[in-house]
Structures are given as C-alpha cells and as structure tokens.
Chain A
C-alpha cells in the first residue's frame, strides 16, 4: 500500500519531467535547424557577392600599373596600388583558411597573411593577369567554380 502511494505521487512528477524534456528537445532541435538554414542562406549570399566585389574593386583601380597579381607562399593575391600623400599603398585581396581577406598596407611592407580583414567565405580564389586581362577563379563552399574575366581599359588604351 505504501509503495502504491509513493508511485502514485512520483508518477506525475516523472511525467512532468518527461514533458519538460520533450519541449526542450523540440526547442533545441528547431533552433539548430533554423541556425543551419540561415547560415547556409548567408553563405550563399556572401559567396554570390565575391566576384562582383572583385570586379568593382578592379574598376575603381583601373589605372595604368595599378593592378597586378602576386604570389606569396602559394597564396595568389590581387594587388591594387594607389598613391596617397606621396606614399604608395597596396590593397591585397586574397584567399586563405577558407576566407577571402582584404589587406590595406604600404606597398613596400611585407605581406602579412593574417593581417587582412575577412570579407567573405570561400574555398579558393585565384588570380591571373596577362596583357591587361585579369582572370579571377572563385570556388565557393558548394564546390562550384565561377570565373571573372576583366579587361582593363587603362592597359588596353595604352
């Protein structure tokens, strides 16, 4: 009789505990799914902006000798040079550790891979420059490769 009484008292509590656990599991699961969906959407939005962003940068620096491509320890970097108050500065755009980064520094300063500011996420971004034609190859986290080819008017008109 005593055991029956104890069980009768404990059972509602145990049911309440199970109910709380189920609710919290649903909340946690739903939050996780929502976060994954928003992260994926953000990533696609970001990666879709990469090549247009590079194209806009190149257009802004489309002056003779301002655009070049350099290689630093296997990292392909687009170098956009400008002169400010008599000093030469370079904006490097490169990809490292899954991130497209931008580094603004003095033209003769050493290239610091970790010094750039993160702009976007990417698997890889490589540049090549030949006879006034800049080619940028971008691979997003989905593994799809996109290519941008830009003809510099400053080099073409001579």
Chain B
C-alpha cells in the first residue's frame, strides 16, 4: 500500500504539468514557424524589389542616355542602386545597346 501511494505521488505532478508544457511548446513552435515564413517572404520580396529596381534603372538609362549598358554595375553607379551582392546574384544579359537586357536576380545559395 505504501509502495503504491509512493508511485502515484511521484508521477502526479508530472501529469499535472504536462498539458501546460505541451501548450507552451505549441506556442513556441507556432511563433517559430510564423517568423520563419515571414523571413522567407521578406527575402523573396527583397529579391523582387532588387530585380524591379534594375529594370527601372535600365529603362531610365535608355530614356536619358539612349543606350542599355553592357554591365549592371553601370546602372548601380549612375542610377543610385544598391544591390547586396552577398545575398543576391544578378544575371544581366545585354544582347545589344538598343535591346532591353534580360535581367534576373537570384538569391545566393538557392
């Protein structure tokens, strides 16, 4: 009788705390998942914004100067662009000075 009561009294606090611990873990997991998704969406948004900025600058360059530059660094230097090259890779394919270049921005490591 003594052994039984000792066994019951040992596990009882654990069973009492279990729902609380599980709920706390669920809240933490939800917060972590939501923050991860926000970070992913933010990275994609940054990529999209960088690509669009380059395209706008290319059009502005052609409108103002009459040509599309051979290298995207010209646009960054003369049209106030700032691209994080450690985070993004710029694929800039200029066929000719009077043809809109093919501009794609990719995330490094993806």
Decide whether A and B are members of one complex: yes
| A→B interface (CB under 8 Å) | 5-6, 9-10, 13-14, 16-17, 20, 24, 27-28, 31, 35, 38, 42, 45-46, 49, 52-53, 55-57, 59-60, 82, 91, 102, 104, 117, 119-120
Known: A49-B56, A49-B59, A91-B98. 15 other contacts (CB 8 A): A9-B16, A20-B30, A20-B31, A27-B38, A31-B41, A42-B49, A45-B56, A56-B62, A91-B99, A102-B99, A104-B96, A117-B100, A117-B102, A119-B100, A120-B59
Q: Size class of B's contact patch?
A: 20 to 34
- The complex places the Cα of A120 from the Cα of B52 at a distance, in Å, of 10
A16 with B27: CB separation less than 8 A = yes
Total contacts A-B at CB 8 Å: 70
A38 with B49: CB separation less than 8 A = yes
B56 with A42: CB separation less than 8 A = yes
Q: Does B107 contact A (CB under 8 A)?
A: no
B20 with A9: CB separation less than 8 A = yes
Contact of B56 among A5, A38, A46, A91 (CB under 8 A): A46
- The complex places the Cα of A114 from the Cα of B98 at a distance, in Å, of 20
- The complex places the Cα of A57 from the Cα of B63 at a distance, in Å, of 8
Report the minimum CB–CB distance from A136 to chain B (whole Å).
Answer: 14
Chain B interface, DSSP helix/strand/loop, else mixed: helix
B42 with A31: CB separation less than 8 A = yes
Chain A interface, DSSP helix/strand/loop, else mixed: helix
Chain A residues with CB below 8 A from B31, complex form:
20, 24
With both beta carbons as reference points, the residue of chain A lying nearest to B27 in the complex is identified as A17
- The complex places the Cα of A6 from the Cα of B16 at a distance, in Å, of 8
Chain B residues with CB below 8 A from A20, complex form:
27, 30-31
Chain A residues with CB below 8 A from B102, complex form:
117
Chain A residues with CB below 8 A from B27, complex form:
13, 16-17, 20
Contact of B63 among A6, A14, A35, A52 (CB under 8 A): A52
Within 8 A of A (CB), among B54-110: 55-56, 59-60, 62-63, 66, 95-96, 98-100, 102
- The complex places the Cα of A120 from the Cα of B27 at a distance, in Å, of 44
With both beta carbons as reference points, the residue of chain A lying nearest to B53 in the complex is identified as A42
Chain B residues with CB below 8 A from A38, complex form:
49
B56 with A13: CB separation less than 8 A = no
What are 10 A-B pairs with beta-carbon distances under 8 A? A9-B17, A10-B20, A13-B24, A24-B34, A28-B38, A31-B42, A53-B62, A59-B66, A104-B95, A119-B100
- The complex places the Cα of A139 from the Cα of B12 at a distance, in Å, of 73
